[in-house]
Amino acid sequence: MNYLTAGESHGPQLTGIIEGLPAGLTLDIDAINAQLAARQGGYGRGSRQQIEHDQVTIVGGVRHKKTMGSPIALVVNNRDHAHWGKIMDPVAEETAENSLRTVERPRPGHADLVGGMKYNHRDLRNVLERSSARETAMRVAIGAIAKQFLQQLDIELVGYVQQIGAVNADSKAPLDVQKINEVITNNDLRIVEPEKVDEIHTLIDQTKKDGDTLGGIIRVVATNVPAGLGSYISWDTKLDAKLAGAVMGMNAMKGVEIGDGFKAATSFGSQVMDEIDWHEGEGFTRQSDHLGGFEGGMTNGMPIIVKAAMKPIPTLYKPLQSVDVQTKEVKKASVERSDTTAIVPASIVIESLVAIELAKAIMDTFDASNMERLKAQLKDYREELKHY
Ligand SMILES: Cc1cc2nc3c(=O)[nH]c(=O)nc-3n(C[C@H](O)[C@H](O)[C@H](O)COP(=O)(O)O)c2cc1C
Ligand SMILES: C=C(O[C@@H]1CC(C(=O)O)=C[C@@H](OP(=O)(O)O)[C@H]1O)C(=O)O
């Protein structure tokens, strides 16, 4: 399976094409829209989300809610385009009127300056528009389909917020996807310790007043993933590497950990390796999951644990120093309407990206032409492993 997205933040729409999904996968459109709505939510978002009401439109590859094996084409409209019609018109000639709202004072931490230097754009809006995380709405729509594919194979996963700024709200780091879901859907921070909500709201409110921004840490747990996805044979077949790549491919990510991650480096081997058990009828299991479900680049049957570190949002309402790309004068950086923190939507995006990589790994391992055949193969494979 592969996918491609196109579209700018204030352009007419986001477009996505997925190829390689099996025929016969039943899609729940409401569930895709629920994921899109979840990505729009979260405390600390800017006013853009009051304009958008993201809904997917499927324009290819699906008939009567079932995939046909052909490429799937998706659209999510940008309602805000109504306010940017002239400035973001794909085909009108450039005029003084429709090139208003140029960006010339690059924001430190955003793609503005280097994007301008690389592509020789003098109006950095040409960079801002595509580097904006608006594009992640389409990745979430695609990830929602991958998530449904996994659910139909009895694999569950969830992404949630472990830490915002310096406040940790995940002292127990649970592994039960259903229980995590029950708690996080009841608060606007997607945290598992709701008693921390007030403290974090106060932190976000104060940060906003200060014209500053926040990052945080996201944790994804995936359960009932069969052992043996990915391979130790070559570096580019290792599934943990692909997961890390997908997470780093997301806007504002600065670190990825699998399992105990960096903490493992400061522990003794006896504290990190997951000791092996065997039970009649169940096969091999582990006593712990420090390695986050991976050995040798392969899933080992334990829950997959991926953590992502998100840097604070680069656009500051109290802007940092920049230099005008036209005049070379020292100026304050541009300010575009912006989020104070986007850790909550980011948790949905990271969940989606992990879902996509796991779905891909399954499609690479088994014949993925038809969903029923794939289900039968996976069932046989799970059975075979129990008797290894
Ligand atoms: C869901 C989400 C929302 C974001 N919102 C904003 C925002 O409102 N303002 C901003 O400056 N950056 C925002 N970012 C971060 C930028 O998109 C990101 O920092 C930028 O594309 C530069 O890429 P890099 O941080 O990966 O180097 C957001 C990121 C995500 C994931
Ligand atoms: C539009 C979204 O996020 C945007 C991501 C973003 C950025 O620089 O990444 C900047 C802001 O864009 P705008 O100034 O157009 O409001 C965010 O709102 C979204 O998540 O749907």
**CATH code assigned at 217:** 3.60.150.10
Q: Which atom of ligand 2 lies closest to the CA of 336?
A: 14
Q: How many domains does the chain have?
A: 1
Dist. CA 37–CA 53, nearest whole Å: 7
Ligand 1 center to 297 CA (angstroms):
30
Q: Enter the tokens of residue 90.
A: 């794909």
Q: What does DSSP say about strands 294-295 and 167-168: parallel, antiparallel, or unpaired?
A: unpaired
Q: Would the CB of 340 count as within 6 Å of ligand 2? A: no
Cβ(239)–Cβ(357) under 8 Å?
yes
Indicate the helix (H) or strand (E) that contains 254: strand 253-258
Q: Enter the tokens of residue 264.
A: 């493992």
Residues sharing a CB contact under 8 Å with residue 116, sequence separation 6 or more, in sequence order:
106, 122, 124, 126, 127, 325
What distance separates the 2 farthest-apart alpha carbons in the chain?
A: 75
Q: Percent of the chain beyond pLDDT 90?
A: 97
Domain extent, residue 378, equals 2-386
Task: Give the mean model confidence (pLDDT) for residues 110-137.
Answer: 97
Residue nearest to atom 7 of ligand 2 (CA): 132
For residue 109, the one-letter residue type is G
Among the listed ranges 129-138, 200-209, 241-250, 330-339, which one has the minimum average pLDDT value? 330-339
Residue nearest to atom 5 of ligand 1 (CA): 339
Confidence of residue 327 (pLDDT cuts 50, 70, 90): very high
pLDDT score recorded for residue 101: 84
Dist. CA 199–CA 167, nearest whole Å: 8
Q: Alpha carbon 211 to chain centroid distance?
A: 26
pTM above 0.90, yes or no: yes
Q: Enter the tokens of residue 249.
A: 């491919």
Q: Which of 8, 9, 335 to mutate to test the pocket of ligand 2 (most atoms within 8 A of CB)?
A: 9
Rounded to 5 degrees, φ, ψ at 247 are -65, -45
Rounded to 5 degrees, φ, ψ at 204 are -65, -40
* pLDDT over threshold 90, residue 3: yes
Task: Give the mean model confidence (pLDDT) for residues 149-168.
Answer: 98
Residue nearest to atom 8 of ligand 2 (CA): 132
Confidence of residue 96 (pLDDT cuts 50, 70, 90): confident
For residue 20, the one-letter residue type is G
